[in-house]
Each structure stands twice: as structure tokens, then as C-alpha cells.
């Protein structure tokens, strides 16, 4: 057994610094588990002279601006990619596999877009490829799915996988602040980027759900297969109505597989206050898993940050080294079992929330009810309040289960009713809360 395993690090930013720090801090524990020491031999950086928080821990690690110094070093066994971006990271990982080096990454964008290609390259070269940190930071959700549910059939995943949007919605719900003010505070606290588009438009969550769906259902899910709606257009009125009806608003990643067809989407949804996801607040993440055998299980924790993400990276590094010692590297790369088939809208069912304004006159609600009844859509809950505009009523309904196709048809017909002034909001409802 080797006395030392050398790691090459691509990137010494927030996560890379955390990796170096944790390896040094927990060297004794790692050596006890593995029977050998782990050392970051060299690291790719953009500026070797930049002051870093881990300058003391980085002693003994060679800094370089040339990725080939890391990728072509015969003494390096494992490459850790935490530099971010897509194309440069993709090329570096493919070079690493060609050099028979194992790879650990935290790069969700890369895995979501090029996961199939990278898995193929890893399998061809009998290399390990792990990316636990790419989804939900330090929460061991990917290992939980692949190992913990190995003998189970996962039917559905539902999760809060973006801390930025969860923080914003928590502030809006708890304090009644506007979306713009909540976003500004999230940016000031470092939970949101200066350009928050990837988070608030749902793209970050969509990438994570593509990865989760692929592993949970053993079928390739491309990013374009994920239907995405962000949180920019959420109004305080909907959070307040939802609260009155027993719900809270969350940006939910949803994936379901019936053994043949799959659906994956990211969208704001009203969650029953009785559901465990409703209590996931601020920047925290959680993934709720429905297994045929185990029933319901939830993974919860910090979804981002230097140390939680670095912890997940090092966990993968430890797994790789154990595989090296056992001589089973590359064995975790398994081709998907199922050919991808997306579920059509007429076979996707749920409860829905609709808010609209209508003329406050006799017979309006009767016409609205008839429209929905003709499509076999019934109402579970109804609220009607006077609007700020004269002679106008604001109406909120929550439906019983209906197909998404029929709901879209109902919304189109609702907008065409002369007595309906506008349709403001349409959200999926999860859970069965009562007012």
C-alpha cells in the first residue's frame, strides 16, 4: 500500500482553498481510513503571487499557471477540478482520463452538459469519476441515491437545490419584503451573485436536477429536457394567499419516473406547510426522495459554501483512493438502463393554484366554474376578495388533481372570457393543505 497519494488541484478559489485546508486539518483521520497520506502536490492557479487564506497550508504544494504541469505529472493519481467554467474544465478532465488519472469535480454545469461524454471517457480509461459536490454542496445526496437506494426503485425526487432562491423566498414570506429587496439583501450577504440570473431564473437548479434525475432513474437526462421557470415574477400577493391557504412558496426541482417515462422540471410551487420541505428556510437545501421500498427520505443541509462543498470533494477523493487500493477503479461507471422517454403533458398530473381578476358582477363565477367543469377540473379551495380596482374581484382557486394539458387549456379559455380581466398567477401545488 502506498504511503502517499498525490492529488492535483485545478483551481484554488473558494472551494479549492477549502479542499487544501480540510486535507491538512484532517490528515490523521484520512490516513487512518486509508492507510496512507494524501497530499496536494500541485495546483493550477491564475496568479501564483496572489495572497490566499490558505497560504500556510499551501506550503509544499507547487503552484502553476500551466494545466499540463498538473495533468501530465506521473506522480499525481487524482485530479480535483474546482476551477469552474465549462470548456477549459472539460478539456482538462478529458486529458486527465487519457493520462489514466481519476477525477473528482464540483462542476455542476459541466456534468449537466457533458456528463455522458465524461462518463464514457472515464469508463474507456478505467478511471473513477465522482461529482458529489456538484449538487447540494456538502449534502451526500448523490452517494445516497447510488449507494443507499441501490436495491430500491426511486419513483420521485423533489427538492430545494438552490440556496439563493430559497433565501429570497424565505425573506419574502417571513418579512413581506419585495423580490427586489430580498435579492439585494442576498447579494449583500454573498448568497447571490452580482448577476443572479442563473439562480433566480432556475438554471442552476435545472442543472442539478438533470444530474439527480440521471443517477436516480438510470437514464440520460439532458439539460434541455428540464422545463424551467424562475422566481422573478413571483408577487407577494401569491405568497400571502398561499400562506392563508396553508402553503409556502419554494422553487422546487421535481423529477418523476414511472419505469418507462420521465418528467423533470424546476418551478416555483406552493408546498403544504405540513410537508418537510416547507421548513427548509434561508440558504439551506433539501432533497426529498420517494423510494418504492424505503418510502420517504429527506437529505438536508448547507447547499453551498467553501467548507461544505470541499467536504464533499474530499469524500469523493477518499472513495477514489479506496477504489485504487481495492483495484476496482472505473467500476462505478455504469451505462444507463433505460432509454429516455419524456412524459407528455396529458399524462402529468397535479394540483394547481390560479389567481385572476374578473368583473365583480353576477354570473361571473358560474361561467368560470362551467369552463373548468367542462374540462373535468374541479376546485378544492376558493378565495374571492374585492380588488383594488372598482367593480373588480380577485379570485384564487386551488384545483383537485388534473392533467397539465387540461390546465393549460383551461388557462387559455379563462383568458378569453370577456368577464375575466387578467390571469396573474399559475403554480403547481404539492401537498394537500386546507385553509
Q: Nearest-CA neighbor of 289 among 126, 149, 107?
A: 149
| 3-class secondary structure, 40 | strand
**Distance between CA atoms of 300 and 160, rounded to whole angstroms?**
9
C-alpha cell at 1: 500500500
Question: Is-contact 394 384, C-beta < 8 A?
Answer: yes
Which residue among the candidates 108, 208, 256, 406 is catalytic per the annotation? 208
**Distance between CA atoms of 42 and 64, rounded to whole angstroms?**
7
**20-22-23-25 Cα dihedral, nearest 10 degrees:** 120
Q: Nearest-CA neighbor of 172 among 268, 249, 267, 247?
A: 249
**Which residues 6+ apart lie within 8 Å of 193 measured at CB?**
164, 187, 199
Q: Name beta bridge partners: 423.
A: 356
Residue 96: phi and psi, rounded to 5, are: -60, -45
| 335 CB-contact burial (10 Å; exposed 0-12 / middle 13-18 / buried 19+) | exposed
Q: State how far the alpha carbon of 32 is from the alpha carbons of 36, 138, 318, 403, in Å.
A: 8, 22, 11, 55
**Distance between CA atoms of 405 and 343, rounded to whole angstroms?**
12
Of how many residues is the chain composed? 435
**Which residues 6+ apart lie within 8 Å of 147 measured at CB?**
none
Question: Is-contact 99 72, C-beta < 8 A?
Answer: yes
CA angle 148, 149, 150 (to 5 degrees): 95
Measured over the CA atoms of residue 199, residue 205, residue 206 and residue 211, the dihedral's sign is positive
Q: What does 1-31 look like in DSSP terms, one character per residue?
A: --SEEEEEEE--SHHHHHHHHHHHHTHHHHH
| 3-class secondary structure, 58 | coil
Annotated active-site residue 101? The verdict is: no
Q: What is the set of active-site residues?
A: 208
Amino acid at each position: 500500500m502506498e504511503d502517499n497519494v498525490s492529488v492535483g488541484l485545478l483551481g484554488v478559489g473558494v472551494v479549492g482553498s477549502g479542499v487544501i485546508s480540510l486535507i491538512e486539518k484532517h490528515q490523521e483521520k484520512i490516513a487512518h481510513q486509508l492507510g496512507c497520506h494524501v497530499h496536494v502536490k500541485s495546483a493550477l492557479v491564475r496568479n501564483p503571487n496572489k495572497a490566499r487564506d490558505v497560504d500556510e497550508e499551501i506550503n509544499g504544494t507547487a503552484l502553476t499557471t500551466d494545466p499540463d504541469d498538473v495533468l501530465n505529472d506521473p506522480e499525481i493519481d487524482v485530479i480535483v477540478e474546482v476551477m469552474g467554467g465549462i470548456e477549459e474544465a472539460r478539456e482538462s478532465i478529458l486529458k486527465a482520463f487519457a493520462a489514466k488519472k481519476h477525477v473528482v469535480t464540483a462542476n455542476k454545469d459541466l456534468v449537466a452538459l457533458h456528463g455522458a461524454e465524461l462518463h464514457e471517457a472515464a469508463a474507456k480509461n478505467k478511471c473513477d469519476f465522482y461529482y458529489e459536490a456538484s449538487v447540494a454542496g456538502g449534502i451526500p445526496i448523490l452517494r445516497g441515491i447510488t449507494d443507499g437506494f441501490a436495491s430500491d426503485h426511486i419513483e420521485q425526487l423533489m427538492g430545494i437545490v438552490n440556496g439563493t432562491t430559497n433565501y429570497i423566498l424565505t425573506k419574502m414570506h417571513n418579512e413581506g419584503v419585495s423580490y427586489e429587496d430580498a435579492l439585494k439583501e442576498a447579494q449583500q450577504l454573498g448568497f447571490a451573485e452580482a448577476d443572479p440570473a442563473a439562480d433566480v431564473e432556475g438554471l442552476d437548479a435545472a442543472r442539478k436536477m438533470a444530474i439527480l434525475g440521471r443517477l436516480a432513474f438510470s437514464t440520460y437526462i439532458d439539460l434541455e429536457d428540464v422545463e424551467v421557470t424562475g422566481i422573478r415574477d413571483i408577487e407577494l400577493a401569491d405568497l400571502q394567499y398561499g400562506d392563508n391557504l396553508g402553503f409556502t412558496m419554494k422553487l422546487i426541482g421535481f423529477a418523476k419516473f414511472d419505469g418507462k417515462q420521465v418528467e423533470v422540471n424546476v418551478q416555483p410551487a406552493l408546498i403544504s406547510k405540513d410537508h418537510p420541505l416547507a421548513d427548509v428556510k434561508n440558504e439551506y437545501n433539501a432533497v426529498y426522495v420517494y423510494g418504492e421500498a424505503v418510502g420517504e427520505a429527506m437529505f438536508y443541509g448547507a447547499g453551498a459554501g467553501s467548507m461544505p462543498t470541499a467536504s464533499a470533494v474530499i469524500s469523493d477523493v477518499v472513495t477514489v483512493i479506496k477504489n485504487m487500493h481495492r483495484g476496482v477503479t472505473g467500476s462505478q461507471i455504469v451505462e444507463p438502463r433505460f432509454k429516455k422517454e419524456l412524459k407528455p403533458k396529458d399524462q402529468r398530473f397535479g394540483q394547481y393554484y390560479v389567481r385572476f381578476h374578473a368583473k365583480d358582477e353576477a354570473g361571473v363565477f358560474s361561467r368560470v366554474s362551467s369552463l373548468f367543469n367542462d374540462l373535468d377540473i374541479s376546485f378544492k379551495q376558493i378565495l374571492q376578495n374585492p380588488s383594488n380596482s372598482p367593480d373588480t374581484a380577485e379570485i384564487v382557486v386551488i384545483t383537485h388533481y388534473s392533467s397539465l394539458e387540461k390546465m393549460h387549456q383551461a388557462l387559455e379559455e379563462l383568458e378569453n372570457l370577456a368577464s375575466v380581466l387578467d390571469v396573474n398567477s399559475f403554480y403547481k401545488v404539492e401537498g394537500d393543505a386546507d385553509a
